[in-house]
Structure 1
Amino acid sequence: MASPRSGYAVTTPAARLLGAGGALVSLPVRLGAAMASLVALAIAWPAGRIGTGGTELAALFCFAAWVFAAVPVAAGVVRALCHVGRGLNPYYLDLFVGIALLGCFAGGRYATGALLAVVLVLGQVLEERSVRGMREAVAGLGRLSRIAARRLRRGDGGPEMVDAERVVPGDRVRVLPGEMIPVDGIVRVGESAVNQATVTGESLPRDVAPGAGVFAGTMNLTGPIEVDVERAAGDSVIGRVSAILAAAQEDKPLSARRVDACLAVYTPAVLMVCGATWMLTRDLDRAVSVLVVCLPCAFVLAGPSVMVAALAVCARLGVLVKTPRHFETATRLDTVVFDKTGTLTRGDLAVESVEVRDGVDPAELARAASTLAATSQHPVARAVAAWGEATGGANGATVEGVVETAGRGLRGRVAGKDVLLGNRAWMQANGVACGDDASDGVAEGRRVFVACDGERTACMRVSDTVRAEAAGVVSAMREAGLGETVLLTGDHENAAATVARAAGIGRFRAECLPEDKLAEVRRLRAEGRRVLVVGDGVNDALALAAGDIGVALNRSGAHIAVQTADVAVLHEDLSRLVDWLRVSRRAMRLMEQNLIGAGVVIAVSLVLTTTGMVGPLAAAVLHEGSAFLVLVNSARLLRYEPVALTPRERDLDRS
């Protein structure tokens, strides 16, 4: 789309949607010329009723009106004649109107030609107003994706808020708990837990200290840290959103490309029909009318207006679609491959089970563990604290002398007892024997041990939580035609089986490396399936690129995954996937309706004009009416509301 300084990109909103280059005359100038033409015609009408010389004066003003209307059109005709490229000439309207104005000039019908041009320009204004809201909604997605960085000034070391794209290698940024890390770099000050699920695919956070590397798009969880920047953020997904949106509006689905190919020969065909009409009837008005009703504005708007509406709806829902071709491809998908961590799960830890030693009071255990855990912001500690609260163990017991060791655990006195909470290494460092019970398939990083007064009292297993909407989304996608669902994850088999069962997925593969996911997607496509791949991390990038369509869940900004994927969901709700599929299907239906409706209107109008029932001005009104109806039909898509799970799907979620 053209910048404000470059003028109106082409002569109609249709052409602007097609992404053509700059034009010689902008729409405001055309509108001004149309108003001047109307003023000249308004003066000509009373001038014709003046006595001697009134007719000549009226003719002079009518000719002036024709000139006012013709000058900007002539500039567009120059562009049309110089156009080189495949598909539809983006300056087609000026070419058609120019021929009509020449016909009116040859027949001395200056007033008719001027009014014809004025009606068409006013139609352009209405079309422009109709699509403005769509373009503004699409532009809003770029504003949604901005990230700020707290850069430390080199002089006094004070923080200043800047756009992440302005941070360069050698800068140092401070990241507070709960903030997204804006750049790749090395931790120099502070300790914290960082959610790196988008990079590693592992649901448990990583404890970082000075010297540890962190990645852009990961989430700082527990403590403030200062990071030395290694790589600039300019190549991240945030910096690419605007370019992706611009490219999306330039591109078109395959069906729209076919329409363009047909329209490439449309102009010569219309001129032949117009010439034949004049030769058979010798009626110049009838020939001009045929030319006007055959203007292909409705055909040209049929596809792009729907695609911009679809992009606008997706922008409102927080879905970035890189090219409208993916709307068309989405209607043919039959298989969906899910990643687990961060995709079907939220990355929020919860206590899955608790093994309590004989003779230990569960209530006392819950009170001691949850009270100590409540003093920490570590994700595992928060999970234990939430478990204690849910089981009634959090009763306000006092805790003293709390010591937290990053990456290991907590120590403190709760109700007079020395309580330890942490991993196996933390227990062993404090002389507590944990035993060897790692043969049950549970990853060591998912174990939390509790000890009281030097003796182990319990072992807790923590796990990621399945998204509440996951089962409903899988069910809705199956009903939409994606009958085959597969879960591929790098996590262990027990965790994969649990998530697959909760989400209603029939087949899964655990402990997959990125190349294993790639091989599985390629195998499915070799079987003739059309595959949708859904993931959120760098470890999903290969599979995302290999599918017919790759969708990256990007609320945490893994730029490699989003750069590789075709669609990015910048939202936490997995049901946006279903929204995108439904919007795609509605968009393709509306496009078909537009094309059929435009063809019917042009065919009926052609009959009316060739039989002399409709003159040039009425033909112009018919033409603009058909184009406006296409825009109105496309705008129906803007009323789309996000999906709400049906009662049956909510029951699946609860189960």
Structure 2
Amino acid sequence: MRPAKLALDLPVLLPDALDGRDRCVERLSDTLREANGLDEVHVVAAADGHPARLCLHYDPAATSLTRIRTLAERSGATITDRYRHLLWTVTGISHVRRARTVAETLRRATGVIEADVTPGLVRLEFDSTLTDIEALRGQLSDLDVQLADRARATTDDDPGHDEHGDHDHRHGRRELWFAIAASTVWLAGFLLEHLTDVGDDALTALFAIAGVLGGWFAVREAATAVRNGRFEIDFLMLVAAAGAASIGRWEEGALLLALFSLGHALEGVALGRARAAIAALAELTPSTAIVRRLGAEHTVAVDDLQLGDLVVVRPHARIPADGFVVAGTSSVDQSALTGESIPVDKQPVADVERAAAAPDDVTAASRLYSGTMNGSGPLDLQVTRRAADSTLAKLATLVRDAETQGSPTQRFTDRFERVFVPFVLATVVAVLFAGRALGSSWTDALYRSMAVLVAAGPCALAIATPSAVLAAVARAGQLGVLVKGGGPLEHLGTLRAVAFDKTGTLTEGRPRLVDVVAAAGIDPERLLAVAVAVESHSDHPLAAAVRRDGGARLGGIPLPRVERVVSITGRGVTGVVDGAPATVGSVALLDAQGHLDADIARTASQLQADGRTIIVVAHGSRTLGVLGLMDTPRDDAAASVAALAGVGIHRTVMLSGDHQRVADSIARCVGIDEAWGDLMPEDKVTAITRLREEEGKVAMVGDGVNDAPALAHATVGIAMGAAGSDIALETADIALMGDDLSRLATVVGLSRRASRIIRQNLVLSVGMVAFLVPATIAGAVGIGPAVVLHEGSTLIVVANALRLLAFRPPASPLSPRRSPRA
């Protein structure tokens, strides 16, 4: 008996799995492979509007479809119940070094499989048979980290942003005030020492107070890290300050802690700007909505909106939910979500019942998104997504999740620090004893070793990459682009080749009538009238294009009467027009009927060479002429492709399932370097693999649905028009929220800028250490200057990264359209 197949949607089997690459998918596949009668288990990427699926090949003689389905569903439920995911908004983690300490502690906790922490966010995967949510809360509480509000064990959890922001803002202010107080007290002591005859005991007391104020928060961080077997930068600074005090250099020890705390506080304030830009996404949706029920209007909480509710959107008010327009016309500012700078005209759907049954098929001209701003016209909106499932909510969650995704450079620097800090401690001990062996006093040797300790502290290195990634992700979100973490950001910033899907990406995604060539002596209007009349009885996509565009050219001219229409699959349509037989179809069909004369054949051949799809029209005994149809390039395609060259992309390739001549024609129109036609879906994956071998890295741009397999195999998968498309948001590494190809050059430019800033930060941070360590070993630089240079480099690195928040995309060469395409 032949093997049978069963494909099951992954979101049904594993609701918490992010995509087909999630660890839980591997666990489920491994479990099912052990079942009797199952021959193969593999993941089928999302495509054709379907989510990713788990495909099961089984032997019907050994097992049954029902048994396999039940096993898969039960196994999925067991894995989902056992392996849980959390994304918590928290307070008490205000800077990157603190986040790393918390992450290391959580990873060592029983039952925790993975922990990623960034200031304000904790993402966890844990085994619920070994631990539970309350135990994890306790772990965080022991680290003085609290949830901003109650949290749920889901990947899209979004506990209270306001409380989180207020708490960490207050904590940051306390750190800043302590740092300012420490600096003020130190400055007072310094002035008294040099301008008055105050006693040494009073000066020592002032510097000691400055040191306590400056080291107040560092002591807690250092103690937590040491308990977990890690020696962090805070510990190094405390040891250096204590060493300076032990040899009577109270002034320099206090200066170290005062400037360290000041730099630390300013770093937190600066990074708070980037986090605030990200958090602002979640604040766009209003808290209440006006709902019309039983003829009356009621104000309800947005969270209480139900599918099918009719919401009244007042002029100049934020739209409270995802849905479609039932009544009214207006212009909607979608810039917060899609980055479009010009408001988009909205109009009601033609069929409310059909739109409600298939909301994903509603055209952009009638779709509304939560958090966008209505213009001057009132609108009636029918809700198609609950508040937690809105495009804006998903975007905010994905952007926050992206904060916790480290980049390759960041992972490297983290590994480097684990080795570097113990090396620094060993170097300090070596300098201490080497100095004594070379004849220096214990006091001088200890002072020099403490100066080395300050110089070698990798503060700037620790913050160099995460600060740039955080700022770039935040800025991309403001521009209507979702970047899923530092990995895609860095890869896109260094690759030089981009592959495009053709249909719907470089082209409009629907054929248009572009050529009407009448035969000698034939009125073009007669040619069009016969073609439109006959094609009005066909549901083929080419027929729809002839009806739409041909009818528009004819204006209000009456169409002839058509009878006895017959569709010839794959070849055309025949019928009787005004009593005479008519044929509208392919060259082969007309040739078989004897209607293809030499002139028409030459015209058809020439149009085909230009990439047209040909329809020949005959009526009675005459051939009336030829129609040329083409999936026309987007208005902004050529300019967008040209803009890529300006941001460093040296090779562009178009992948298409169309005939090679059609692909070549489109490529010439939009300026693509290479066109690869006649490709099946699996061939596109092979093409991406080939490009990766040739170029090392390649980005693939598509719609995120039909192109999902190719997107998954590219170094960076980029989906466009992702607003409202869950599959596009889930499958792509980068998602352009709007249906605007010009955003591609924007995100590439932002990634290039981020990569440059990361390199600049690394050079500055490593260069400062490389300069200071030899200088302090040689005795050319003491603790005071080392502190100033050390903390100064940290602040410069953060300020350099924050420049990304002011990134401005290059001016578009095209005027933006006011109305979206239908």
Q: TM-score, normalized by length of structure 2?
A: 0.57
Once the two structures are superposed, what CA deviation does each residue of 1:511-532 show, in whole Å capped at 9, x if it has no partner? 85x5564465456557886442
Match of 1:436 among 583, 586, 605: 583
Aligned residues: 577
Q: Tell me how large the CA RMSD over aligned residues is.
A: 5.5
Task: Return the offset for 1:266.
Answer: 1.5
Deviations 1:258-285 (A, max 9, x none): 2221110222111222223333142233
The answer to whether the aligner puts 1:486 opposite 2:654 as a matched pair is yes
- 1:215 is the counterpart of 2:378: no
Distance 1:532 1:41, change over 3 A: closer
In structure 2, C-alpha distance between the alignment counterparts of 1:434 and 1:324, rounded to whole Å = 65
Number of the residue aligned with 1:238: 392
Q: Which residue of 2 aligns with 1:560?
A: 727
Q: 1:233 to 1:354 in 2, by over 3 A?
A: farther
**Cα separation, partners in 2 of 1:168 and 1:574, compared to 1, 3 Å:** same
| Gap change, CA 1:167 and 1:70, over 3 Å in 2 | same
1:296 and 2:458 aligned:
yes
Partner residue of 2:487 out of 316, 325, 329: 325
Q: How does 1:518-537 map to 2 (within 5 A)?
A: 518=685, 520-521=687-688, 530-537=697-704
- Equivalence map 1:21-170=2 (5 Å): 24=144, 26-38=171-183, 40-41=185-186, 55-83=200-228, 92-139=232-279, 153-156=292-295, 167-169=305-307
CA drift of 1:486 comes to: 2.7
Preserved CA contact (<8 Å) 2:274 2:471? yes
Separation (CA, whole Å) in 2 of partners of 1:134 and 1:457: 65
The residue aligned with 2:152 is: none
- Residues 189 and 207 of structure 2 are in contact (CA less than 8 Å); yes or no, is this contact kept in structure 1? yes
Point out where structure 1 has 5 or more consecutive residues left out of the alignment: 191-205, 371-378, 395-413, 451-455, 648-655
Aligned equivalents of 1:269 and 1:485: distance in 2? 48
Change (3 A) 1:558 1:640: same
Deviations 1:15-54 (A, max 9, x none): 9997267875943333333344455556767988999995
SS at match of 2:771: helix
1:364-375 equivalences under 5 Å are none
Contact 1:333-1:481 at 8 Å conserved across structures: yes
Instruction: Please give the TM-score of this superposition, normalised by the length of structure 1.
Output: 0.70
SS of the residue 1:534 aligns to? strand
Deviations 1:217-238 (A, max 9, x none): 7426589998685x75745653
Give the Cα separation in 2 of the matches to 1:499 and 1:133: 44
Counterpart of 1:439 in structure 2: which amino acid?
A: S
Structure 1 pair 50–359 and aligned structure 2 pair: CA distance change class (3 A): closer
Equivalence map 1:560-579=2 (5 Å): 560-579=727-746
Give the 3-state SS of the residue equivalent to 1:251 in structure 2: coil
Shift of 1:568: 0.7
Alignment of 1:496-511 (within 5 A): 496=663, 498-505=665-672, 506-509=674-677
Checking the alignment, whether the CA contact within 8 Å between 2:704 and 2:731 is kept in structure 1 is no
Distance 1:296 1:499, change over 3 A: same
1:19 aligns with 2:118: yes
Deviation digits for residues 140-178 of structure 1 (CA, Å, limit 9, x no counterpart): 56678x799998645447597986x765456567999xx
Task: Give me the identity figure in percent.
Answer: 29
The answer to whether residue 715 in structure 2 is matched with residue 548 in structure 1 is yes
Distance 1:239-1:41 versus aligned 2 partners, 3 A rule:
closer
Q: In structure 2, how many angstroms separate the alpha carbons of the residues matched to 1:527 and 1:605? A: 43
- Which letter does structure 2 place at the counterpart of 1:299? L
User: What's 1:277 paired with?
Assistant: 431
Deviation sequence 1:93-136 (CA, Å, 0-9, x none):
32122212322342344443222211112223443454454444
Q: 1:6 aligns with which of 92, 98, 108?
A: 92
Q: Which moved more, 1:601-610 or 1:347-356?
A: 347-356
Would the alpha carbon gap of residues 219 and 293 (structure 1) be closer, same or farther in structure 2, given more than 3 Å must change? same
3-state SS in 1 of match to 2:635: coil
Q: Distance in 1 between matches of 2:484 and 2:98?
A: 24
State yes or no: 1:630 paired with 2:797: yes
Structure 2 residue identity aligned to 1:278: L
Give, in whole Å, the separation in 2 of the partners of 1:598 and 1:563.
Answer: 36
User: Match of 2:501?
Assistant: 339
- The equivalences for 1:304-453 within 5 A come to 304-330=466-492, 333=495, 335-346=497-508, 351-354=513-516, 384=549, 418=558, 435-440=582-587
User: Residue type of the partner of 2:363?
Assistant: M
Change (3 A) 1:507 1:42: closer
1:437 is paired with a residue of what secondary structure? strand
Change (3 A) 1:62 1:496: closer
Aligned to 2:112: none
1:592 aligned residue: 759
Question: Per-residue CA shift, 1:342-387, capped at 9, x if unaligned?
Answer: 31124687541235688776689999x99xxxxxxxx979975996
Paired residues of 1:147 and 1:182 also in contact (CA < 8 A): no
Higher relative contact order (CA 8 A, sep 6+): 1
How far off is 1:322 after superposition? 0.5
Partner residue in 2 for 1:621? 788
Residue identity opposite 1:246 in structure 2: R
SS of alignment partner, residue 252 of structure 1: coil
Distance change in 2, residues 1:64/1:472 (3 Å): closer
Counterpart Cα distance in 1 of 2:496 and 2:191: 69
Deviates more, 1:353-362 or 1:607-616: 353-362
Q: CA deviation at 1:541?
A: 2.2
Instruction: Report the Cα distance in structure 2 between the residues aligned to 1:109 and 1:188, rounded to whole angstroms.
Output: 76
**Aligned partners of 1:433, 1:134: CA distance in 2, in Å?**
72
**8 A Cα contact 1:180 1:218, kept in partner:** no
Code of the aligned partner of 1:63: A
Change (3 A) 1:495 1:137: farther
Aligned-partner Cα distance in 2 for 1:331–1:63: 48
Give the Cα–Cα distance (whole angstroms) in 1 for the partners of residues 249 and 581 of structure 2.
Answer: 100
Question: CA 1:215–1:434 in structure 2 vs 1: closer, same or farther (change >3 Å)?
Answer: farther
- How far apart, CA to CA, are the structure 1 residues paired with 2:562 and 2:723? 27
2:183–2:259: 8 Å Cα contact kept in structure 1?
no
Q: Is the 8 A contact 1:237 1:563 kept in 2?
A: no
Following TM superposition, by how much is the alpha carbon of 1:248 offset from its aligned partner in structure 2, in angstroms?
2.2
Say if 2:413 is the partner of 1:259: yes
Contact 1:274-1:288 at 8 Å conserved across structures: yes
**Cα offset for 1:565?**
0.7
